[in-house]
Each structure stands twice: as C-alpha cells, then as structure tokens.
Amino acid sequence: MIRVGVIGASGYAGGELVRYLIGHPGVQITYLASGTYAGKHLSAAYPSLLGQDLPLCEVYDADSAADKADLFFQAQGNGIGMKVAPALLQYGKKFIDVPADFRLKDLDEYAHYYKMEHTAPELLEEAVYGIPELRADEIAKARLIANCGCYATGAILALAPVAASGIGDMDSIIVDSKSGVSGAGRSKLDVSGLFCEVNEGFKAYAVAGHRHTAEIEQELGALAKKDIKVSFTPHLIPQNRGILTTAYVDTGASTDELAALYNDFYLDKPFVVILEKGQQPNTKNVFGTNYCHIAVTLDQRTGRAIITSAIDNMGKGAAGQAVQNMNLMCDFEQTTGLMLPAVYP
Amino acid sequence: MIRVGVIGASGYAGGELVRYLIGHPGVQITYLASGTYAGKHLSAAYPSLLGQDLPLCEVYDADSAADKADLFFQAQGNGIGMKVAPALLQYGKKFIDVPADFRLKDLDEYAHYYKMEHTAPELLEEAVYGIPELRADEIAKARLIANCGCYATGAILALAPVAASGIGDMDSIIVDSKSGVSGAGRSKLDVSGLFCEVNEGFKAYAVAGHRHTAEIEQELGALAKKDIKVSFTPHLIPQNRGILTTAYVDTGASTDELAALYNDFYLDKPFVVILEKGQQPNTKNVFGTNYCHIAVTLDQRTGRAIITSAIDNMGKGAAGQAVQNMNLMCDFEQTTGLMLPAVYP
Amino acid sequence: MIRVGVIGASGYAGGELVRYLIGHPGVQITYLASGTYAGKHLSAAYPSLLGQDLPLCEVYDADSAADKADLFFQAQGNGIGMKVAPALLQYGKKFIDVPADFRLKDLDEYAHYYKMEHTAPELLEEAVYGIPELRADEIAKARLIANCGCYATGAILALAPVAASGIGDMDSIIVDSKSGVSGAGRSKLDVSGLFCEVNEGFKAYAVAGHRHTAEIEQELGALAKKDIKVSFTPHLIPQNRGILTTAYVDTGASTDELAALYNDFYLDKPFVVILEKGQQPNTKNVFGTNYCHIAVTLDQRTGRAIITSAIDNMGKGAAGQAVQNMNLMCDFEQTTGLMLPAVYP
Amino acid sequence: MIRVGVIGASGYAGGELVRYLIGHPGVQITYLASGTYAGKHLSAAYPSLLGQDLPLCEVYDADSAADKADLFFQAQGNGIGMKVAPALLQYGKKFIDVPADFRLKDLDEYAHYYKMEHTAPELLEEAVYGIPELRADEIAKARLIANCGCYATGAILALAPVAASGIGDMDSIIVDSKSGVSGAGRSKLDVSGLFCEVNEGFKAYAVAGHRHTAEIEQELGALAKKDIKVSFTPHLIPQNRGILTTAYVDTGASTDELAALYNDFYLDKPFVVILEKGQQPNTKNVFGTNYCHIAVTLDQRTGRAIITSAIDNMGKGAAGQAVQNMNLMCDFEQTTGLMLPAVYP
C-alpha cells in the first residue's frame, strides 16, 4: 500500500482525487490538507463523503505531511506547488502538481501568462509534463510531475498524431474548446459564477489570451520539432463537467490516412478511444472517467481535418490523469483504479 | 465468481446495472439481453462502455440465458418479469425483478394500478420485497426479489422508523416527492420527454394516482401492523437523477426523540446516513450511489415531523439496490461493489 | 405618462422591473438607483439592456429621486424600504416595496423572522399587502404597497378559495414549495450559489422556519377570519425561475365542488388560470410572466385536496405583481404591459 | 391592422411567431394552421397561451387561408413552403418561409443538402434571402421571403463586414457554432432528443456536412463577390435557446481597424450591437429577442480575427427575424414589436 496525501483536498480537483483514490486498490489516503476544513472530516466540505474512512483535514505543514505519506498531489491552486514541492522532494517524496507551476519550461512564458515570479525555477528541468500518452517513460522515472492542464489535455490528445506525423500544416491550427464550469473551481466567488448567470447561457472567454495556449504550443511543438503558434478559444458550457475540443488543421491527407494515423498512434493507449466513422464524442460519455474519445473527419471541400475530442475536465483533465501519472510513477498498471465507465445518464 | 445476466440491458436501469456489476469484484457479467442491440456490444447503446469487456447482447431466450448465468436482473419493464421469471426459477436461477411485477401482494391493487392481468400470481407469495434495510433476512434466503420502486424507496426509508415505532399518526402521512427525469426510462418517446420541454420547468404529475402509492402503503402498513393510506405526489425535477422526498407526519414526539429514533433505527445500515441537525439532504450528494441521506425536523408550531430523504433513483432506487439485494442473496458483504462516493460536482 | 423610478435597479428584481416597465405604454423610467453601477447605464449590469434608452444609474438620494419620479419601486433588499419610504411618501410619492419590510402587521413576527428592528412602524398600518387578486380596492387607494412575497404569492393564490370558503380544515394545511434559484438574488455570494453546487441537485432548506410562513398565515388567516398555522417547506429547483407550490388541505368537498369554488373565486382575475381536469401547472408555462396557473385535485382515498400552483417568482412573485399593483394605484387597466405570454421553450 | 397567418403554428418556430405577433401593435393574428391541433385553441399545444385571444387552429387549406389573412408565415418545416407558397402568392398574399425551401439559388446545392426535388423552382429568382441587415431594400419590395437560417444568421452577421470589405482571407474562414436544442424542433422524436441524453452533455454533429454551409457561402460569397468555401461545425449546447458563433479568419488588419469596420458596418442596424473591447457576447443576453451581439478580437500572435456573435436561434435566427422582415415588407418601423429586452436571468 502506497500512502498518499492530497494538498488542497476541499477544492473540486482535490475532492475528485479523493474519490479516485478511495477506489484505488493499491493506495491509502493517509493525509489531507485543507485550511478551510482543518480538524474536520472532508465530508464537511463534501457530504458525498459521509461514511468514508478518511484522515481528518490538517493545515498544510511540510514535516507533518512528510511523516504521513509517500506521494503527494497538490490540487490547491497555481503558485502553491512551487512553494511546497521543494521541501517534500527533499524528504524523498513523489510530487504531482495538478495546477500549472511546473508545466512551462520557458520562464518568460510563465511570467507572461501567470503574472507571478517563479520561486522554484531550479525544478523546472526535472519536472515532467504529465501526459501519459506521450511521456509515459519519463513519468515512470520522475519524482516531480506537472499534471497536464485540462484544456491542454483535450487539445494535445486531439492533435498529437498530426504534430508527430507532419501530416498537417502546423501554422494552421485552431483549437475551439468548450468546457463545463467546474474548471473554475470552488473557491472563486463572483457574480459570474452564480447558477443563474451560467445556466442557459454560453459564451467565449479569454479570447486570444488563455494560459493553456502556452502548454498546447509547447507540447505540440515538441512533437513537431518546431515552434508553433495556435489560436485557442475557450468557452463555457452550462454543465458541470466535460471538455469538448474542436480542432482544425489544414492537411493533404485523405480520410483513410487520417483514420489509420489516429488508430495507430493510440493503439496501446487504454484511455484514448478513436470512434468509428460517423460517431462523434460527447462529454457525457466520459463523465467522471479518465477516458478521451476522439473523432477525426476530413472536410474535403476545404482540405481541413476536423478533430473532436471529449474528456472530463476533472478526470482525464485533472484528477484521473494525476492518478494515471501516479500509477506510472509507482509501478502500478496504468489503468489501476481508473477503468470504471461513466455514470450515464 | 458468480455469473450474472441482465435482461433489458440497454435501458437506463440495465445500463446502470452493468456499470455497478463491472465494478463488483465477485461477479462476472456473462449474459446481456437486448432486442434492440442484439448481436452488438452494449457500447452501441452506451458509448460510455467502449473498451469494456462484455458479452454481446442477445435476444432474450430462456434456455440460452439459463446456460450462461446463475443470477438474473430483469430491467426491461413492467410485465416482463412475470413472463420470464417462472422458467428461470425452474432452472434453479436467482431472479431480481427491478420493475413492479412482484411488488404488490394484493392482486386487486396490482390490477388497479398496472392495468394488466398478472400471469404468475403463484410466485407472489414467495417473492420478497427487496428493501434490504427492512427485509435483509428474507432477501438472503429468497430466490425471487421484487426490487423496491424508486419513489417507494425514498418514502419508505423516510418513514419506516415512524411506522415501526408508532410515534406518529399514520393517517396523517403526506409524501411529496421530486424525481430526476431518468425515472421515465429511455424507451418512451413523446413530446413531453424532449429536452426543451423538461429543461427549466417543474411540475407535478399523476397527482392522487401514482402507482408507487400502493407499495408505500403496503410496506409502511406492514411495519405499522395496520392498513394505512398516504397522499403521495410525484414531481419532475429538470435534472437527470435523484429523488428528494419530503414527508410529513403528525407527531407528539420531540426533536430529540425523533433524532434518537432515526439514529437507532438505521444504526447498522451502511447505506442510510442520518444527517446532523441543520443539514439537509441534497440529491447531488448521493448521485450515482446506493446511499440514502435523511434529515428529520420537528415543526414545533404545527406538531408535524418533516422528514427529507435523498437517493439516486437509478442507484438506491433501482440498480444499486438490486446489487445490494444480490449481495445478500449471494452471501457477499452487503456493501461489496457499492461503496464508492458520488461523482461531485 | 407616469414617471417611475427603481431603487436597487441592478438586482434581479430590479432588472426585471426595468424589463416590464420598458414594455409598459403608460410609464417612463426616469430614475434608476444602484450604488454598484452609479454613473453607468444599466447595461453594465445587464448587457441584455444594451440599446435601451434609460437614465444612468445614481447613488440613491431622496431629494434627487423625488425630483425625478412620481412612483418608486424599491427592490434592493430587506431593511431598505423602511428607511427610504418615509421621505418619499412625505414628498407625496407612491411607493411599492418589493421586499418584506411592510408585509407583516405584527412587529413581533417581523422581529422573529427578520432579526431587525423596524424603523418605520408608524407606516405598517397604512401599508397594503400587495396581492391584487385579494386586495385590489385597497391597493387602488394606497400610497404604500408591501408587494406580496414570491413563495407567499404561490401559496396564497393556491389556498385563498379554501380559506375564504371554509371548505377545508385550516389546521391541516401543508405547503410544499419548489423555487428556481433567482429568488436568492444576485448579490449574495457564497459557495452554495455556484453553478456547480446547484446544477443537478435538489434540496429543501429553511425547513420549519422560512420567513414567508408568517405572511402566508397572515393573509390566509385574514380570509378565514381566524389564526392559522401552516407547515411550509421551500426547496430549490436547479432552474432560473419559477415556483411550483403543492398545497394539501383536508376537506369534505367533492371534486366538482372544488372545481366550482376555484373557478368562481378567480372568475374576473385575469392573471389566474384554473386548469382543466387532468392538466397540471408547469413553471415553464408562466416563465417571464405575471400569470398563475392552478390545478385542484381531490385525493378521494384520503379526503385531501391537492392544489398546485405555478408562478414565475420574478414575475407574479415579484416584478410582475409590483407592476400590477402600480396599474391599480395609477388607474391603468390591471393588465397593462403584462399580457405577453411566456417565452417557450 | 395587417391580418397575418401562421402555418405550422404548433411547432417551436410557429409558437414563437405567435408570441411576437401577439405583442406587435400593427398586426392581428387571424389564421393559424396546425394539423395536430386542428379545431383547438393553440394553448392545447402551449399552455403558455392560455388566456390569449387567438383564432382556433385549422388544417391548412389555401382558399380558407387566403380568405382570412394578408401575410403568411410558414413555419412547419422544409419542403412545405414550396408547396403552399405558389397558391398564396397567386392570391396576392405576402409569404415568409421560415425554413429553407427558397434560400438557395443553386438547385444543385439544394438537392445535395436537402435530398428533395424542388417543386417551385420558378420562384427561386424572386425569393429574397431574408436577412434585413444586408438586404433591407429588396425585402421591402418582396412578396416572397426566404427567412435566413439560424446558424447562417449568426455566421453571416459575424463575417459580413469582413466579406464586404476584403479585409480578410476568404479562403481561411472557419465557423464553429454552438446552438441550443430548440433548433431541432418539437416534432422529431428519437432517443437523442430526450432530456437525459442532452442534459449535461456537449457534442458536435453533422461535421463537415451541415446544410447551412451552403447559405453561409452563398451570402458571404455575394458580399465578397467571389465563390468561397467555409468550414462550418455545429454543436449542441444543453440549453433551450441561443447560438454562439466563433468565427476565425486570417487578416492583416489591426484591432482598431477591425473595431472601426464593424462599428461602421452596423451603424444604423438597430438589432446588431458591437460590444466594447473586453466584452464577449453571451446567448443569455439575447434570449427571447431579435438582437445580435458581436465582439471582434485580433489574435495578434497568429494574425487571425476571432469574431463571436450571439443570437437567439428562435428570435433573430427564426421568428424575430421573420417579424423584422414582415415589418420591412409592410412598411412598419423595422423595430416594431421587437424592442423588448431579454428575460434575464
């Protein structure tokens, strides 16, 4: 049994990690940090956890944490991972940072998008960008993982075969993404997050400026072995979970070549499912899971490939992927604790 | 490993049974019957099941079914169980009927509410009404279970302590229930089920005439050891899952007496959680699970107890409860495969 | 043209008043007060108002307000009306208070439910409880209206014929109400109001203690000419608007007597529609309007009448009713500006 | 008073037309055709219309229709307009076809996308494509209008300034649209339209093959004075109404040039609102209205303009626009009966 801890347990990603970890046969949750719920059972934050055997929440403290667990998930927010990772790594712990602190290799990009100074730049080189379908070997050897961003996961999985194969024009990429609202987290309170403001409405936001642009470009650029620029537009869907990504790229490939490319690329990847022709991914079908459904369509009239991918932003886009990364780091089967199908409907 | 089969696998309750059974460590799904999807993998009905190892769907046939599994769930609809149960029981199989065929002991009530002639009345006596919190011993010995109805589960669990204790006036019971839409199933297609007709709307239906009235009265009457009549009003909530029941009963008991009564009554019942004073159940907190959350409040000004209960109509109200019944019948721990918390949010 | 002002224009009720008043042929909006949006066009709060000809918002000031309008709606919140009404009345203005300050005639009840000391008790006697179906003549002569509460409107309209006729047992009344979320307003920010916390969930709240209990009892008691106590339970529906009320009362009346009673009682009331037998009100059908749909059903087995009513909590439950009250006070046809049907679906 | 008739009154677009026409001061609804509700008041289809003074529905008959009204809206479906328009035009009536029969000038395109033979090709030349912001003069003189499609309206208004000005590369256009579910209508009943199948899910459909592609290309091509091809991808939002369109086009223009272009282009167009920098359209803000909100953003890193537009698919995308067309045809102010703001929230 691996002893695991969750820092930021009362946020949405933290709560989702706890849910996955409760169902994981190889680990035990031995540490939970939450300032708001310190001294309380996590069911005070999530009554859905009533009856579950969990340690009480604590205010985060490095020594106490190090004493109680061997691997940590940090899910509290941007700017926290770079503060707590150094000490825990020094204690010999494994560390998976769910937010963005260790994702970008370029400090200027980090400063530009996150408006913060990085306080642990010395860890950036060893931090592995945690997307198991592309970096499983590195992840397995890593002690510090930068969990792939939610939008970035949907976009990278949709476009990785194109980037790696050279089958498309990498300057033509447009990523139009639509996300459920849980991505905004539980702690940001303003009018725009109220039920009545979100329900029965749909809008774009952060047009031409969203943070995940940088990691999408970094990872697809790495596959394509050149610098690339993408247009990325996020939108909010009036639903709790799910990201549907519609990606466009100019290509000279045929429908059959595209289908073959995607099926080959994801052949041994248990969580990526390439749909049959005529099917389209729906966020409902991956709700609460670590799966990613992908469809590839050639728009023959315009010579564009239209790739759609569906993930759960809290699953493959956050907690599920973090557990998948843990599985690789801890020598579990990659799929352990992650194979249950979506709750439907 | 117990070999289990699901008849009516492509309906909502059937799909939910498959989901629970995939996660159950002691059983293997060896038989799936669905006329619509015969010859196909169940993922043709539910793409959420892509990648799951399942037998192909078949048109139901008693001999073939009997050959392939030891215990059957029937989830196709009312009127089917009484047709297929006799043969399977004769083959020595265990049978859990999720719809209503074997719930009512009184054939006149059955005819009144279901407008059908019962074709297997000889089985009514041995059929056990499948609500494990009240009839665990009978269920453990049964070969034929009539799974408790969804509304009935919410109402019976809310009121059983009152009925069993005599603490309230059994002639004063009002049950005002609100259900998510999945209760209507996947096969009934009419305008009233369209998204736009349901979304952003709330209404009562079947006022003073809903079928579950009969089983609520039967079970609470059995506990109270007298005939009772309740007023039961179901409503539709514009959400997928969940039943919130608000029950009213005149009582002379104090708040403390009520709290003690409920906590005692459900002391060793792992799926029923009595909330602390000031908390109210929310269907979200039991989404996708077999749990039932209950709160008891005394309205001192009027001398009425107001009991609220939350279940997932597809979980504790259907598939989860069916698996709990199976666990009892097959000598598993009652909680096996049923302990995961709700997906939240 | 009557010059009207809205105090608290940027809240939900304020915005809805502006919407109704824009469509009213006999009035002109000449004053809008909002601290948050002072100096701005109200479209800064509600982009739905872009392109509408409206005065800029101001910080509320009695002299400035009195100079600019002849009739005022106060929609900012509880505790404001009793502060601003005295000065405006002294200026000879008409005043409609949408929140609760002037609704309860009993100061003890007010203190009990609202936890505030009343600062204008001298106005309570002349303030008319603004429910036009019951008090049209008083309203027409009043200068100060206490607009009927949202839940109270649904409950009172559902039960007024019973209370006025003596056809039911007034000690047996249970009011089980379900409301859309806009009733909570736009200014209260806490976790429980976030989209993800509300969406796909249903719960009761303020069980055995909601404030509107007092006004329901006051008005039904006035009709019944005796003190009464009701059990009132509010619930939250995951939708923006609408209140569905399910009311229960013991009665010896027959179905036909009940139908005749309700049809007679609301014969000349243009906004109350008694549905035909077998129909049930749905909040969707009154969305965005001042209508109230009512169905009456006798549960013959238990001798209870089950009355269901649907209103829009922002319409007949707040702004629509306020405009109806204004129409009476200003000698317009009661229906002026209020006859448009619901946006459906 | 113009006497108007609605053919197909019980569909969603028909019902919405009735709603707009009830609020229009210059017309009277004198004819309603609906096979399903023949002989009944339209409130049998839409209880939201209870209490409205309307003619009873009839089975459509050309002579009877011609006798009763002067202008007709056909909202029943594709393939109906080309059957009923010829006779009504011969009677000297004006005719607005809300579906697609008269939109495409190219019969091959029509046959390709609609899989039907056109039975009134002789009317295609005189039929005016009904988008008032581009063709007001032609509409004013027309007797036959092909009301612009819902997706097409959102896309064309978003891109018309680019197409007319030559400021962008017309071969680079991508239109990624997201629509509420009412666009599917009320009469198509299959599993995919059920509440539980739509709610909490998001997907693309008709990828690289949707019918509205043809009219978008036709109208933008006409403005650009050359043949163009666009990639158009529609998606379904789990909400009742609204289309949010995100359009991408390569451009050498600056942010300021784009802003000036759009503001100029829509200077005297009362229903198109260009948002200020930093604002984004939200479908909520145009709910139930004939407005279109547009934002233009330059993605400087990639040289793409990202234009977002929000309309109500039932309003500016169908019934509202049809009434706007009627206003032009009948010499009303373009805005008559269409100026009310959205119901919010």
The tens digit of pLDDT for each residue in D181-193 reads: 999 999 989 999 9
Percent of chain D whose predicted confidence (pLDDT) is above 70: 100
Determine contact, residues A147/A318, Cβ cutoff 8 Å.
yes
Minimum Cα–Cα distance from B174: chain C residue: C248
Shared-domain flag, residues A113 and A220: no
Show the tokens assigned to B161: 């302590």
State both tokens at B111: 């005819």
CA D40 to chain CA centroid, nearest Å? 28
pLDDT in the model for residue D24: 98
List C-alpha distances in Å: B171 to A106, A286, B162, B234, B249. 73, 47, 12, 19, 8
Residues A88 and A210 in one domain: no
Q: In this complex, which of B12, B22, B293 lies closest to A341 when CB atoms are compared?
A: B22
A76 and A21, same domain (yes or no) = yes
Place of tokens 């079914």: B65
Long-range contacts of D108-111 (CB under 8 A, 24+ apart): D109/D214, D109/D218, D110/D214
D198, D200, D240, D275: best to mutate for the A interface, most A CBs within 10 A? D200
Judged against a pLDDT cut of 90, whether residue B188 lies above it is answered with: no
Record: contact D189-B186, CB cut-off 8 A: no
Task: Tell me how far apart the alpha carbons of residues D292 and D286 are, in angstroms, rounded to a whole number.
Answer: 7
Range of the domain at A19: 2-126
The answer to whether residue B326 sits within a structural domain is no
Q: What letters, b where the CB count within 10 A reaches 16 and e where it falls short, cover C165-187? A: bebbebebbbbbbbbbbbbbbbe
**Inter-chain CB proximity D208 and A300 less than 8 Å:** yes
Residue B297 with chain C: CB contacts under 8 Å: 207-208
Report the pLDDT value the prediction gives residue D293, as an integer from 0 to 100. Answer: 98
What percent of chain B lies above the pLDDT cut of 90?
100
pLDDT at res. D188: 84
pTM above 0.90, yes or no: yes
| B87: number of Cβ within 10 Å | 15
Residues of C in contact with B311 (CB under 8 A): none
pLDDT at residue C217, as a whole number? 98
Is there a single domain that holds both residue B225 and residue B118? no
What residues in A contact B345, CB-CB < 8 Å?
12, 182, 240-241
Are the Cβ atoms of B275 and A47 closer than 8 angstroms? Answer: yes
The neighbours of chain A, by the rule of 3 or more Cβ pairs under 8 Å, are: B, C, D
Pick from D204, B312, D214, B294: which is nearest to A294 by CA?
D204
Q: Are residues C116 and C240 in the same domain?
A: no
B166 assigned to some structural domain: yes
Question: Which one is catalytic: B57, B148, B150, B292?
Answer: B150
CA dist C134 → A103, C128, C262 (Å): 65, 11, 14
Kind of pairing, strands C2-7 and C71-74? parallel
Please tell me the distance in Å from C288's CA to the nearest CA on chain D. 6
Asked if D189 and D109 sit in the same domain, the reply is no
Instruction: Say whether both C234 and C110 belong to one domain.
Output: no
Choose one of D111, D126, D141: the last residue of a domain: D126
With CA atoms as reference, the chain C residue closest to D274 would be C50
pLDDT tens track for A116-172: 999 999 999 999 999 999 999 999 999 999 999 999 999 999 999 999 999 999 999
Question: How many helices (H) and strands (E) would you count in chain C?
Answer: 10, 14
From D197, which residue of chain B is nearest by alpha-carbon distance?
A: B195
How many whole angstroms separate alpha carbon C15 and alpha carbon A339?
A: 48
Q: Are residues B162 and B302 in the same domain?
A: yes
* DSSP-derived secondary structure letter, A251: B
In a domain, A180, yes or no: yes
Q: What is the per-residue pLDDT across D291-337, written as a single tens digit (0 to 9) for each?
A: 999 999 999 999 999 999 999 999 999 999 999 999 999 999 999 99
Residues D120 and D182 in one domain: no
Overall average pLDDT of the B6-22 stretch = 98
Query: Which of D219, D96, D79, D80 has its CA nearest to residue D153?
Result: D219
Q: What is the mean pLDDT of residues B121-150?
A: 98
Q: Is B183 exposed, middle or buried (0-12, 13-18, 19+ CB in 10 A)?
A: buried
ipTM: 0.97
Q: In this model, does residue D117 exceed pLDDT 90?
A: yes
Which of A286, A339, A345 lies at the smallest CB-CB distance from B240? A345
Closest partner residue to B344 (CB to CB) among A15, A270, A340 is A15
Phi and psi (nearest 5°) for D300? Answer: -65, -30
Q: Do B310 and C203 touch (CB under 8 A)?
A: yes
Do C120 and C160 sit in the same domain of this protein?
no
E strands, A228-334, in order: 231-236, 243-250, 272-274, 292-299, 304-311
Residues D47 and D157 both lie in one domain: no
Catalytic residue set of A: 150
| Structural domain includes residue C145 | no
Residue C319 in any domain: the answer is no
Contact check, Cβ <8 Å, C50/D293: yes
Residue A70 maps to which CATH number?
3.40.50.720
In a domain, D334, yes or no: no
Is pLDDT of A188 > 90? Answer: no
pLDDT classification of A329: cutoffs 50, 70, 90: very high
Same domain flag for A42 and A113: yes
Alpha helices in chain B (DSSP H): 12-22, 62-68, 81-90, 107-114, 132-141, 150-165, 195-198, 212-224, 255-265, 320-329
Rounded to whole angstroms, the Cα distance separating C299 from C250 reads 10
Contact between chains at C50 and D282 (C-beta distance less than 8 A) = no
B239·C202 Cβ contact <8 A: yes
Q: Which residues contact B276 (CB under 8 A, 6 or more apart)?
A: none
How far apart are the C-alpha atoms of D51 and C327, rounded to whole Å?
19
Choosing from C148, C150, C292, C330, the catalytic residue is C150
- Asked if residues C244 and C178 have their Cβ atoms less than 8 Å apart, the reply is yes
User: B58: which strand partners?
Assistant: B33
Residue D261 placed within a domain: yes
The answer to whether residues C57 and C37 touch, using CB atoms and an 8 Å cutoff, is yes
For helices A12-22 and A320-329, what crossing angle results, to 10°?
50
Partner residue opposite A233 with nearest CB, options D233, D235, D306:
D306
CATH number of the domain to which C284 belongs: 3.30.360.10
CA distances from C284 to B90, B127, B176, C288, D312 (A): 51, 42, 20, 9, 18
Residue B323 lies in a domain: no
Residue D342 pLDDT class (50, 70, 90 cuts)? very high
Q: How many domains does chain D have?
A: 2
345 residues of chain C, pLDDT tens digit each: 999 999 999 999 999 999 999 999 999 999 999 999 999 999 999 999 999 999 999 999 999 999 999 999 999 999 999 999 999 999 999 999 999 999 999 999 999 999 999 999 999 999 999 999 999 999 999 999 999 999 999 999 999 999 999 999 999 999 999 999 999 999 989 999 999 999 999 999 999 999 999 999 999 999 999 999 999 999 999 999 999 999 999 999 999 999 999 999 999 999 999 999 999 999 999 999 999 999 999 999 999 999 999 999 999 999 999 999 999 999 999 999 999 999 999
Residue of D nearest to C23 (CA): D340
Mean pLDDT of chain B, nearest integer: 97
Enumerate chain D positions whose Cβ falls within 8 A of a Cβ in C.
Answer: 12, 15-16, 19, 22-23, 46-52, 182, 200, 240-241, 270, 273, 275, 279, 282, 284-289, 291, 293, 339-345
pLDDT in tens, B286-318: 999 999 999 999 999 999 999 999 999 999 999
Q: How confident is the model at residue B94 (pLDDT cuts 50, 70, 90)?
A: very high
